[in-house]
Amino acid sequence: MAKKKSSRKIIIQSPKGMRDILAGDRSWWDKITKVFSELKDIYNFDLIETPVLEYAKLFETAMNKETDLISKEMYTFKTKGGDFLVLRPEGTVTTARAYIENNLSHKGQPQRLCYFEPMFRHENTQAGRYREFHQMGFEILGGANDSIYDAEVIQVIYRLLQELKIKNIVLKINSIGCRNCRPNYERRLKAYYSKYERELCADCKKRLETNPLRLLDCKNESCQPFKKNAPNILDKLCSSCSSHFKSVLEYLEELGIEYTLDSQLVRGLDYYDRTVFEIFSGGEGAIALAGGGRYDYLAEKIGGKPTPAVGGAIGVERIVDAMKAQEIILEPKEIKKVFFIHIGEVAKKKSLKIIEELRKKKIAVAEDLGRESLKSQLKLANKKGIHLVLILGQKEVYEESIIIRNLKTSIQESIPLSKLTDSVKKYF
Ligand code: AMP
């Protein structure tokens, strides 16, 4: 009997909201990585790497189950061993977990940690909102809950955006109070919104019961009119939160970092207390490039000791998109590379060894030894923007020499093979 053909075709497509980063985008990513790497040292943050998988329970304990991240966005799966794991959705909880697990509270306090890692959230995809994206995060954990650390986190993020020449940076900042003063505010907010309960969108009706602060974050058109007269959290802070916030703002003023007070900024991740902030580029309707805040209760909530902490993260894809949209020009990278060309079988045989000698001396060599014609090899060198070519033919093999040619000036010379490395370095 003839075998039935399988109708299941392989889908040649990356999962929705996830993308390949190819050579064409490399210069943006390289620039961002370089600036991140320099600033983390200059600002004295230690780079950490954490597993891409974490226990689902970690995030479920850290956050309210009604937050979008927990209720809708986590990639959760059961392993063959029966554990429930998630693809890491964000870096703050992970960093707090690593801080506790590795006893970093016994090292010098505070710990200044940073990361550059992929995150995964099952979100509705749209411009700037992906399901796999990368974050550069800066977190300060332990020590005192001094407001100067809030300013320092904002400062390093702000500086990173400045270094990347992002235009029209707008910092929005708010304080959402602490365990003592926030419940009072939430009661007032609830009382205010209850009057309009019937007119609220379905999500806000739920928020009214489960997470009243998020009522202020609703993007639904029909809920906007109620925001205007909602009680202002900044009027309801306790004296300790109020003076903490005031001094964060004073530090920012001292640093010359302009800010906009936004008393309705509450953030989606609900482990924050006191300072919360978001950074945008451009006016109304722009999407956030970075966000963060203080999270003094998080470590305790996930099983550690009380640990004051503050941090923030920058979305790398959004920075790349902003840099492209703003036509930010990257200085062209100087290509310090030679292109190796062979002519004929005898030369081809010798090529790999000569190339290997150059590479051992840390000289970058491009080649395509599978191509035979001189013309097509020269064409490829041009296409790659490499102006220095080495040409090895049969005559050169017998004479133990090689031609070094500058394609820009068309000047060339024949040099002994024994002097090849030094000669190439002179051209650089
Ligand atoms: P969050 O972890 O939600 O505080 O987000 C911090 C920053 O990460 C945001 O300001 C964005 O720049 C970036 N970000 C968050 N979610 C996404 C996403 N789904 N796609 C791309 N970037 C994101």
Indicate which residue's Cα is closest to atom 5 of ligand 1: 291
Closest ligand 1 atom to residue 131 Cα is 19
**340 close to 366: Cβ distance less than 8 angstroms:** yes
Length of the chain, please? 428
pLDDT score, position 201: 93
47-61, 278-292, 343-357: the lowest-pLDDT one: 278-292
What's the rounded Cα separation, in Å, for the pair 206 and 212?
9
With 70 as the cut, is the pLDDT of residue 6 above it? no
Indicate which residue's Cα is closest to atom 14 of ligand 1: 315
Q: What percent of the chain has pLDDT over 70?
A: 98
* Ligand 1 touching residue 313 (CB < 6 A): yes
* Ligand 1 touching residue 92 (CB < 6 A): no
State which of 279, 314, 318, 323 you would mutate to test the pocket of ligand 1, scoring each by most atoms of that ligand within 8 A of its C-beta: 318
Closest ligand 1 atom to residue 90 Cα is 2
Q: What percent of the chain has pLDDT over 90?
A: 87
Q: Which two tokens stand for residue 8?
A: 């299941």
Indicate which residue's Cα is closest to atom 10 of ligand 1: 290
Q: What's the one-letter identity of residue 133?
A: F
Instruction: Name the pTM for this structure.
Output: 0.91
* Ligand 1 touching residue 290 (CB < 6 A): yes
* Ligand 1 touching residue 177 (CB < 6 A): no
Q: What's the one-letter identity of residue 192?
A: Y
The SS3 call for residue 291 is: strand
Neighbouring residues of 407: CB distance < 8 A, sequence distance ≥ 6: 378, 381, 382, 386, 387, 388, 389
* Ligand 1 touching residue 90 (CB < 6 A): yes
**356 close to 414: Cβ distance less than 8 angstroms:** no
- pLDDT tens string 211-253: 899 999 888 899 999 998 999 999 999 999 999 999 999 999 9
What's the rounded Cα separation, in Å, for the pair 151 and 174?
13
pLDDT score, position 332: 75
pLDDT score, position 331: 81
* Ligand 1 touching residue 66 (CB < 6 A): no
Provide Rg for the chain, Cα atoms: 28
**215 close to 208: Cβ distance less than 8 angstroms:** yes
Backbone angles phi, psi at 18, to 5 degrees: -125, 140
What's the chain's average pLDDT?
94
With 90 as the cut, is the pLDDT of residue 325 above it? yes
Q: Predicted confidence band at 84 (pLDDT cuts at 50, 70, 90)?
A: very high
- pLDDT tens string 390-426: 999 999 999 999 999 999 999 999 999 999 999 999 9
* Ligand 1 touching residue 312 (CB < 6 A): no
With 80 as the cut, is the pLDDT of residue 74 above it? yes
